[in-house]
Structure 1
Amino acid sequence: MKKIALLLATISLLVSCNKDKYVVTGTIKGIENGKNVFLEKQDEMGQLKAVDTVQVKDGKFTFEGKAVEPEIHLIQVDGANGKVPFILENGDITMVINKDSIMNTKVTGTYNNDELTSYKKSGEQIQKKMMKFQEDNMAKMTEAQQKKDTVVMNSLRAEYMKFQEDFAKQSDTYVSSHPKAFISALIIEGMFNQMAPDVKKIEEYYNKLDKSLQGTKPGKSIKTKLDQIKNPTAAPQAPAMPQGAAPAPAK
């Protein structure tokens, strides 16, 4: 019994040891030892910059540190085309990278990365249908454009727009059912980029977000934009003329 209790205690310690830091472990085949692996994030200007660098050893690499809050980061491996997006947060994060197919990288281990993987899979189903529609109707659209057949062109465009509606429905469904997922905050923030943002819906989604997400960078950004819409700042006034200064003569 004592041995079992000791084993359980050890397992419990191992599971909980990375709650206050992140350990990102990656496996990648076909990359030689010593190749650099960069951990990147966007700066305030939207430019990607490396925040940490390690080397590949025996087909593996590891990043360790402490995350103040969840945030989108990317992995760039020398010798591999493309970057691996993931959510950097405290916990054990594992990724298996195929250097010839970066976009198929599996990232698991923490709640938000598991959710990101699930959300991407759902979107891929819509993406595949959209690509098939494009392939099946490309010749028809080209012919309609050459003949200036607006009826056919408008019909094809209307069908294509349904895929955009499907993406929007996917986002709405996800945000409504995942108030604790970091990706929900990212989706809501992105809604401001629509041609005609539904401010009422955005505010409702924001108010239902978990308090911890409202305090993240995207959460604060949503709140700031909502406040600006509700209380737009007054137009800046011209600086007051110094006493004794004469107005410029009329031309």
Structure 2
Amino acid sequence: MKRTFVLIAAISMFFGCETKTIKDAYVVEGTAKEVYNGIRIYLNNVDQRGRLTPIDTAMVMNESFTFEGALKYPKVVYLTMNSVPGRYPVMLENGEMQMTIDKTNLQNTIVTGSESHDNYMAFAEKYRENQKELMAQGKEYNKALYGKDSLVIKTELEKLEKLTESAKEFPYEFMENHPNDFVSLEIYEMQTQLRERDDQRMIDIFNAFDESLKTSSKGIRLNAAMMKMKLDYEANKKLQIGMKAPEFSGPNPEGKTISLSEVIKKGKVTVVDFWAAWCGPCRKENPNVVRIYNEYHDKGLEIIGVSLDGQSRQKDPKQAWLDAIEEDKLTWHQVSNLKYFSDPIAKTYNIQAIPATYILDSEGNIVAKNLRGPALDMKIRELLEL
């Protein structure tokens, strides 16, 4: 259930005027108690690799410091200080802001005077709270599974499903309710990094953003990401939830051809699992899939694994595939053309990264995608009505 996110935020675009006023520039008055004179404090940009580049520097004198500058658009920066580890995200905007630094822990920094920063902090706090509740409930659900009390399992599962849905909805609802707030643009960027997201909803949300967001530098960049998302969505309509899963067939380890349709006929729920012997995350997830299969196979669960082994650096792709099946104790159906991402099945399902899963109902309709860990367990139990 863990999921780690770097949360950043920004504010709605300022309105400029010809004469210089406080709205044309930012002034950050800071306090740094018990910090020696001459210590430098920085506001930094951060690139996609996490590297920091200072954009403004202030020197502490008499436990005080001041940042001054101007922005075209609100901007997320990271506060750092000499000899103090860590960094603290601050949404910088034109106007007057106040900052109090705790030299022992930058995470205790207090920023006031910015409604947008307040919105960011409120979002971040609620997000962290959601994740904390999810992890705690996930542990309760796992305890229930090991206890094998069906009534307790059902109760804890319902709680987990409710929390999961609430946590999933929160970022979408925030953006929908704040189309004029740059915080929404930052959340949008965060959501684009998720593999399992509602692309149509993301497209609608971006289109509803205020023009000030869309025409900012970040908005222009995210517009390109949204357009790619739109093209991918259109190209993958046949793979959306609710659609019939495309039929495929492939050779199993013994060379016998196995088709998806014949696997579907054997059970009530079918998981199509794209993986490979060389894929670390796949191998790490396999014990969880083995546990789920062993738990629910007799109740109607079927799995067909599609291996994307066959990359050039593998000396013997087939042997690597066979060894992984044996080592990980994968006792369900397995097929592979040993053609890496050029596998025709992978192309049919537009697989760009693994692990990737499709969960199908008894009719072969797609009901969920890319679920792992407790989320996969929850969906299987729901479909099997346990």
TM-score, reference length from structure 2: 0.47
Q: What corresponds to 1:86 in structure 2?
A: 90
Q: Give the alignment of 1:158-237 within 5 angstroms.
A: 163-231=163-231
Q: Which amino acid aligns with 1:36?
A: R
For residues 161 and 30 of structure 2, the distance between their equivalents in structure 1, rounded to whole angstroms, comes to: 38
For residues 156 and 96 of structure 1, the distance between their equivalents in structure 2, rounded to whole angstroms, comes to: 43
| RMSD across aligned positions (CA) | 3.3
Q: Across the two proteins, how many residue pairs are aligned to each other?
A: 212
Correspondence 1:69 to 2:103: no
Stretch deviating more after TM superposition (164-173 or 46-55) = 164-173
Match of 1:21 among 18, 21, 25: 25
Greater share of helix: 1
For residues 180 and 81 of structure 2, the distance between their equivalents in structure 1, rounded to whole angstroms, comes to: 31
CA contact (8 A) 2:46 2:78 kept: no
CA contact (8 A) 1:39 1:73 kept: yes
Return closer, same or farther for 1:18/1:221 CA change in 2, 3 Å cut-off: same
For residues 27 and 116 of structure 1, the distance between their equivalents in structure 2, rounded to whole angstroms, comes to: 22
Q: In the TM superposition, what is the alpha-carbon distance from 1:108 to its structure 2 partner?
A: 2.0
TM-score, reference length from structure 1: 0.70
Q: Which amino acid aligns with 2:64?
A: K
Q: In the TM superposition, what is the alpha-carbon distance from 1:167 to its structure 2 partner?
A: 3.0
Task: Extract unaligned runs of 5+ from structure 2.
Answer: 1-19, 233-386
2:86 match: secondary structure: coil
Correspondence 1:43 to 2:47: yes
CA contact (8 A) 1:107 1:117 kept: no
| Deviation readout 1:171-224 (Å, 9 max, x if unpaired) | 122111111111101112222222233221011111111110111233212210
CA contact (8 A) 1:81 1:99 kept: no
Q: Which amino acid aligns with 2:201?
A: K
Task: Extract unaligned runs of 5+ from structure 1.
Answer: 1-15, 233-251
Return closer, same or farther for 1:61/1:229 CA change in 2, 3 Å cut-off: same
Stretch deviating more after TM superposition (102-111 or 43-52) = 43-52
% same residue: 28
| Deviation readout 1:7-44 (Å, 9 max, x if unpaired) | xxxxxxxxx93100011222222221111111111236
CA contact (8 A) 1:189 1:221 kept: no
The structure with higher relative contact order (CA 8 Å, sep 6+) is 2
For residues 190 and 132 of structure 2, the distance between their equivalents in structure 1, rounded to whole angstroms, comes to: 22
Return closer, same or farther for 1:230/1:118 CA change in 2, 3 Å cut-off: closer
